[in-house]
Structure 1
Amino acid sequence: MTAARLSLDGVTLTAGARALVRDVSLTARPGETIGLVGPNGSGKSSLLRTVYRVLRPGSGRVLVDGEDAWSLPVRRLARTVAAVVQEPAADFDLAVREVVAMGRTPHKRLLDGDTPEDAAFVRSALTAVDALHLADRPFDRLSGGERQRVLIARALAQRPALLVLDEPTNHLDIRHQLSVLGALRRLPATVLLALHDLNLAAYYCDRLYVLSGGAITASGPPAEVLTPRLLAEVYGVGAEVAVHPRTGAPQVTFLPEEAGDG
């Protein structure tokens, strides 16, 4: 499957009288890795939930390859979009390889068994997140970081055209943060993900959208978006931004209050 184009057009999402997301427009071109950044409560998770069809927008549209995601048949959507969410994973009473194989379900008919091709996809997905050695372990006995990698592998096994991830590096140590984001970057898919770590976002994302108070306050390539002025306005802290001498990506250093006041 080829990578999908994602377009959000004036998406607004409310909870009672409170606006969680306000008039957000966003585009992810096929094959791009797009990062959502912003402080807690800025609307990142809520916006992602409108894309993988958990929260219906009050107004605006979510388009996948030009079609309204909320009008697509469930099975077709599942073949196109995969999601890795922040909510705690269920305690599956299954081996890891069986959990990852669940990602193949949208591509099967009822009662179809696993094929050698399915097994190859599962193995490839587990290898991509450095979890092949966990394949026969019970999922419910894994650590938080191991579970996270397995759930990402399940999404990879789905072979989606659009992959949506909410803080996928949560619970991961530094080595696995880098390996997982590297694997996502190499996918022949469009990737939309929320990240807290701005330096990871700067290195792995083609473009960033900065959310604050449910609205987009800036968007563009990381080098254009991540400025001391914007970081002060959005995060309320002082910061220095330099160009990393080896990667060429912006490198953000947040300043303690006493340093910022000096």
Structure 2
Amino acid sequence: MTSTTTPPMGAAELAVESVTLTAGAHHLVRDVCLTARPGEVVGLVGPNGSGKSSLLRAVYRVLRPDAGCVRVDGADAWALPVRRLARTLAAVVQESAADFDLTVRDVVAMGRTPHKRLLDGDTAEDRLLIESALESVDATGLADRRFDHLSGGERQRVLIARALAQRPALLVLDEPTNHLDIRHQLDVLGILRELPATVLVALHDLNLAAYYCDRLYVLRDGEVTASGSPSDVLTPELLAEVYGVTAEVTVHPRTGAPHVTFLPGAPQRPGHSGSGAGGATAGGSAGRDRPPS
């Protein structure tokens, strides 16, 4: 699998400014601030129910903030015309129940829609972008199959290809490695790492997040608990506090990224010795090269 997708039109800057989302009396997200600078890969991590998906929905305009603002290149994303935003932002959502009665190629071609006028056909450039996106996610062999006949992992790769065909300046993904085998997890994250676009991605796998993301935001109960480089954020103390687990964090000898090993047993209370954690903040991501695709 090769990353041959034509580069996006550039990279956008994302600013989430004191966003609060509620459902009745319940806060989904409370006063969250987040930035993703042009070309960065920024990861959202946290336990189930911490607010990751809700926050992403505010960014790609499904949940309107009760307070605060989402800005893309300085403009209020919720005030932009839908078509204009779609030319800048693409989303791959976790809970997609899409059951298109279309071929895979036609589904990927939908990514070109924001760049066309009504009833426009595919141009030669469109066809090149579609084929390139299919190749980038190892789905060329699926192109003529019906989307609704695919496995969960195959569908996920096709939906990522659709987003790539859109050529977004800002790409938002909610658990894009869901349903993917190990090889395709690494390939997809490698593609995101190479894109000149800005990427905001929610991930469950902390080691993948540590390796592929420039910065991480840790959510817990709808609030940002920590943010910074993976080496600053992924510490045994934070993992005990946020996830309620015992973990050892070391620096991987080959990648230079933090590597989390989860251990049996409840985390020790503050003040007790013998946590077994070592090297939690040594090394880290600041000086390592971008990982290969």
TM-score of the two chains, using structure 2 as the length reference: 0.88
Question: Which residue number corresponds to residue 40 of structure 2?
Answer: 32
Question: Which residue number corresponds to residue 239 of structure 2?
Answer: 231
Q: Does 1:47 align with 2:42?
A: no
**1:99-147 alpha-carbon deviations (Å, 9 max, x no partner):** 0000000000011000110011011111111111111111111110000
SS at match of 1:257: coil
**1:13-58 alpha-carbon deviations (Å, 9 max, x no partner):** 0000000000000000000000000000000000000000000000
Shift of the alpha carbon at 1:258?
7.1
For the aligned residue pairs, the C-alpha RMSD in angstroms reads 1.3
SS at match of 2:259: strand
Question: Which residue number corresponds to residue 249 of structure 2?
Answer: 241
Q: Where do 1:105-144 residues align within 5 Å?
A: 105-144=113-152
Shift of the alpha carbon at 1:88?
3.2
Residue in structure 1 matching 2:171, options 163, 166, 169: 163
Shift of the alpha carbon at 1:9?
0.6
In 2: Cα distance, 1:240 partner to 1:138 partner = 45
SS at match of 2:225: strand
Shift of the alpha carbon at 1:250?
0.5
Q: Does 1:94 align with 2:96?
A: no
Q: Does 1:74 align with 2:82?
A: yes
Question: Which residue number corresponds to residue 23 of structure 2?
Answer: 15
- Give structure 1 stretches of 5+ with no counterpart: none
Question: Which residue number corresponds to residue 209 of structure 2?
Answer: 201
Aligned residues: 262
Residue in structure 1 matching 2:190, options 178, 182, 186: 182
Shift of the alpha carbon at 1:259?
9.3
2:250–2:259: 8 Å Cα contact kept in structure 1? yes
Q: Does 1:4 align with 2:12?
A: yes
In 2: Cα distance, 1:248 partner to 1:174 partner = 20
- Give structure 2 stretches of 5+ with no counterpart: 1-8, 269-274, 277-293
TM-score of the two chains, using structure 1 as the length reference: 0.98
Give the letter for the 1:24 counterpart. Answer: V
**1:175-229 alpha-carbon deviations (Å, 9 max, x no partner):** 0000000011111100001000000000000000000010000000001100000
In 2: Cα distance, 1:199 partner to 1:99 partner = 31
2:12–2:37: 8 Å Cα contact kept in structure 1? yes
Give the letter for the 1:247 counterpart. Answer: T
In 1: Cα distance, 2:90 partner to 2:267 partner = 43
Give the letter for the 1:113 counterpart. Answer: G
In 1: Cα distance, 2:173 partner to 2:54 partner = 12
**1:53-106 alpha-carbon deviations (Å, 9 max, x no partner):** 000000000000000000000100110100000113321111101000000000
2:245–2:266: 8 Å Cα contact kept in structure 1? no
Q: 1:140 to 1:212 in 2, by over 3 A?
A: same
**1:138-187 alpha-carbon deviations (Å, 9 max, x no partner):** 11111100000000000000000100000000000000000000011111
Aligned-pair identity in percent equals 79
